[in-house]
């Protein structure tokens, strides 16, 4: 027995009964010297850039401050916000319908959905907007009413952005539905739950976990993407500042006004997304 | 009218399966299955994996459609309506109504993870049978007590052990007061020490006179609970009879070979 311990003793880093100390050895993590050095360099570069931006008079920060909260800009911001909200809600409602069509057993609905997504994803949103804006040239009258009176620029903006959004939303929702385990659907079927109930109560709540991250992405994209409606003279945030700088020629500071608002709203939305994701993670391991 | 079973057998059969065939692409999984299950009896289906036993179980509540033959439960054809010598496929709404009379327990439980235990159990009575919520909750609490999980009503499935989850799944199936219960390898996904608690619940149901078909690998359970043991291999029923015959004095060589491996 003593011979055995002697044979094994040299391979043990802490020989039993040795004088390496009675306590268990302390663990020291790897020192990340390079990472610290890099952090210092990055912070210095950032500070330098910041100082140069603040001290460069060409940015005209005074003008930025002057216009940041003027009525015209805030009205533009308001329009951008509700246009984004409306387009997201309508786009996802239509998109969910398209996703369900695509995954249904009905060949006609599948084809309709596929065709829609193909058409609206393969044309630029700019072209789609201009097309709806000029629809009066193709159909001067709809149901006896002049198209021009029927479709104001803002209506065109809502329709154009929604139809485009729905094509992308459909794919996001479809991916979410496909991510739900097949057994869930079988369990719901074996319990006699109808198709609508299965979708609303069983499948969609579980699909939301996969839908929320790309949907958050789309929301932020849409917020900034609505700025495209400035080309059809809808007074959103971007168009509002353009109206000002066309008059005053203070292009850069006014673009900064719009940018600051976009950054602020986007930051808020990112924080909101965190809480929405946490809500839909309910019932998964680790949530107690 | 749509009861070819009672005419044919004159028995009190709860389930009649006649020359059922099923293929997945080129693979023929069921090659002509005939089976009767009498009301109040427990039928245990044994067989190697790939023998078609799970597929057979899934055809009984029309989760899989059959290619040929027919199945009836409690005198009603499953998934089809007979007219003359033709079987017309039923609309989904009618199939769903039939399924509420057949409980199904899955190998992987398939509890709804975003709903609490209680919500899992009351979902079908409310949505499929239109029961008032208050009644459904009262019934669910009784069922959860019966499977020994009364205090877990507010928990989410992932907070429970596998054995507890499967017991909730059984309570969920029972909530529809089905005439027939189907179990698809109910203990195969469980850690060994949790198998007993699930089998105890199933045994308790068997003693209560529930008609059941159980696909399993638990030979001991089959010996103790089954009225009939069915041995399947390569999509056919090789041998069936009382457990004492099939398990202890198998006639067929393939049954003997299988049992010698699992016992």
**pLDDT tens per residue across span B75-126:** 999 999 998 889 999 998 999 999 999 999 999 999 999 999 999 999 999 9
Please count the residues of chain B: 263
Q: Is residue A88 part of a domain?
A: yes
pLDDT tier at B183 (50, 70, 90 boundaries)?
A: very high
pLDDT tier at A149 (50, 70, 90 boundaries)?
A: confident
Q: Which of B55, B127, B169 to mutate to test the interface with A (most CBs of A within 10 A)?
A: B127
Q: Write out the residue range of the structural domain in which residue A142 sits.
A: 78-234
Q: Quote the pTM value.
A: 0.83
Q: Is residue A262 part of a domain?
A: no
Contact assignment for A187 to B111 by CB distance below 8 Å: yes
Contacts of B159 in chain A (CB under 8 A): 288
Contact assignment for A186 to B172 by CB distance below 8 Å: no
Q: Which tokens hold the place of A283?
A: 């019932």
* CA of A275 vs chain B CAs: smallest distance (Å): 17
Q: Is residue A47 part of a domain?
A: no
DSSP per residue over A14-72, as a string?
A: S-TTSSS-SSPPPP-PPP-HHHHHHHHHHHHHHHHHHHHHHH-GGG-HHHHHHHHT-HH
Q: Are the C-beta atoms of B133 and B118 separated by less than 8 Å?
A: no
Q: Minimal Cα distance from A186: which residue of B?
A: B63
Q: Are the C-beta atoms of A281 and A287 separated by less than 8 Å?
A: yes
Q: Which tokens hold the place of A85?
A: 């909200």
Check CB contact of A192 with chain B, cutoff 8 Å. Answer: yes
Q: Is residue A48 part of a domain?
A: no
Q: Is residue A114 part of a domain?
A: yes
Q: Which of B62, B65, B91, B112 to mutate to test the interface with A (most CBs of A within 10 A)?
A: B112
Total domains in chain A come to: 1
CATH assignment at residue A162: 1.10.3720.10
pLDDT one-digit tens code per residue, A28-37:
988 899 999 9
Check CB contact of B152 with chain A, cutoff 8 Å. Answer: no
Contacts of A185 in chain B (CB under 8 A): none
Instruction: Please name the member of B108, B157, B176 whose beta carbon is closest to the beta carbon of A192.
Output: B176
pLDDT tier at A7 (50, 70, 90 boundaries)?
A: low
- Rounded to whole angstroms, the Cα distance separating A124 from B11 reads 69
Query: Which A residues 267-286 touch B at CB under 8 Å?
Result: 282-285
Residue A285 has pLDDT above 60, yes or no: no
Q: Is residue A11 part of a domain?
A: no
Q: Is residue A207 part of a domain?
A: yes
Q: Is residue A96 part of a domain?
A: yes
Q: What is the DSSP letter of A283?
A: T
> Between chain A and chain B, how many beta carbons pairs sit less than 8 Å apart?
73
Q: How high is the mean pLDDT of chain A?
A: 89
β-bridge mates for residue B231, sequence order:
B46, B239
Q: What is the DSSP letter of A140?
A: S
Contact assignment for B100 to A191 by CB distance below 8 Å: yes
Q: Minimal Cα distance from B156: which residue of A?
A: A283
Contact assignment for B114 to A283 by CB distance below 8 Å: yes
Tell me: ipTM over 0.85: yes
Instruction: Please name the member of A202, A284, A287 whose beta carbon is closest to the beta carbon of B112.
Output: A202
Q: Which tokens hold the place of B71?
A: 């199945």
Q: Which residue has the tokens 């009672």?
A: B6
* CA of A127 vs chain B CAs: smallest distance (Å): 42
Q: Are the C-beta atoms of A79 and A265 separated by less than 8 Å?
A: no
- Rounded to whole angstroms, the Cα distance separating B251 from B228 reads 15
CA B9 to chain centroid:
22
């Amino acid at each position: 027995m003593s011979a055995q311990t002697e044979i094994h003793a040299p391979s043990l880093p802490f020989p039993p009964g040795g004088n390496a100390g009675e306590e268990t050895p302390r663990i020291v993590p790897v020192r990340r010297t390079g990472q610290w050095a890099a952090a210092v360099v990055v912070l210095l570069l950032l500070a330098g850039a910041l100082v140069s931006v603040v001290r460069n008079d060409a940015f005209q920060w005074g003008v930025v401050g002057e216009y940041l909260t003027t009525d015209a800009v805030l009205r533009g911001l308001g329009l951008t916000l509700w246009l984004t909200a409306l387009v997201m809600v309508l786009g996802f409602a239509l998109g969910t319908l398209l996703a369900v069509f695509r995954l249904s057993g009905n060949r006609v609905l599948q084809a309709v959905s596929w065709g829609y997504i193909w058409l609206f994803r393969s044309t630029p949103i700019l072209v789609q907007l201009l097309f709806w804006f000029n629809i009066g040239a193709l159909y001067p009258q709809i149901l006896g009413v002049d198209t021009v009176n029927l479709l104001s620029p803002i209506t065109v903006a809502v329709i154009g952005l929604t139809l485009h959004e729905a094509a992308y939303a459909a794919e996001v929702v479809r991916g979410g539905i496909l991510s739900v385990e097949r057994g869930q659907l079988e369990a719901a079927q074996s319990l006699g739950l109808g198709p609508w109930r299965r979708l609303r109560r069983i499948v969609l709540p579980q699909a939301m976990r996969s839908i929320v991250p790309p949907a958050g992405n789309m929301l932020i994209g849409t917020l900034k993407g609505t700025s495209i409606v400035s080309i059809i003279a809808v007074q959103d945030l971007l168009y509002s500042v353009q109206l000002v700088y066309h008059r005053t020629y203070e292009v850069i500071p006014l673009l900064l006004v719009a940018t600051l608002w976009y950054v602020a709203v986007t930051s808020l939305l990112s924080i909101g997304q965190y809480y929405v994701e946490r809500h839909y993670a309910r019932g998964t391991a680790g949530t107690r | 009218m749509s009861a070819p079973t009672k005419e044919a057998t004159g028995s009190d059969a709860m389930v009649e399966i006649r020359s059922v065939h099923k293929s997945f692409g080129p693979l023929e999984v069921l090659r002509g299955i005939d089976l009767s299950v009498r009301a109040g009896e427990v039928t245990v289906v044994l067989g190697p994996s790939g023998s078609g036993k799970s597929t057979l179980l899934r055809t009984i509540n029309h989760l899989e459609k059959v290619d040929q033959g027919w199945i009836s439960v409690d005198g009603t054809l499953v998934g089809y309506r007979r007219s003359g010598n033709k079987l017309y496929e039923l609309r989904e709404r009618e199939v769903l109504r039939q399924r509420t009379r057949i409980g199904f327990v899955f190998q992987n439980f398939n509890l709804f993870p975003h709903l609490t235990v209680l919500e899992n159990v009351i979902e079908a009575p409310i949505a499929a049978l239109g029961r008032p919520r208050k009644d459904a909750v009262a019934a669910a609490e009784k069922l959860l007590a019966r499977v020994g999980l009364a205090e877990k009503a507010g928990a989410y499935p992932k907070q429970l052990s596998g054995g507890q989850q499967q017991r909730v799944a059984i309570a969920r199936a029972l909530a529809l007061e089905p005439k027939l219960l189907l179990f698809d390898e109910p203990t195969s996904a469980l850690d060994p020490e949790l198998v007993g608690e699930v089998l105890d619940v199933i045994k308790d149901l068997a003693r209560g006179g529930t008609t059941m078909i159980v696909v399993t690998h638990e030979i001991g359970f089959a010996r103790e609970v089954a009225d009939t043991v069915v041995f399947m291999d390569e999509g056919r029923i090789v041998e069936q009879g009382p457990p004492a015959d099939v398990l202890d004095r198998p006639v067929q060589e393939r049954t003997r070979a299988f049992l010698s491996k699992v016992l």
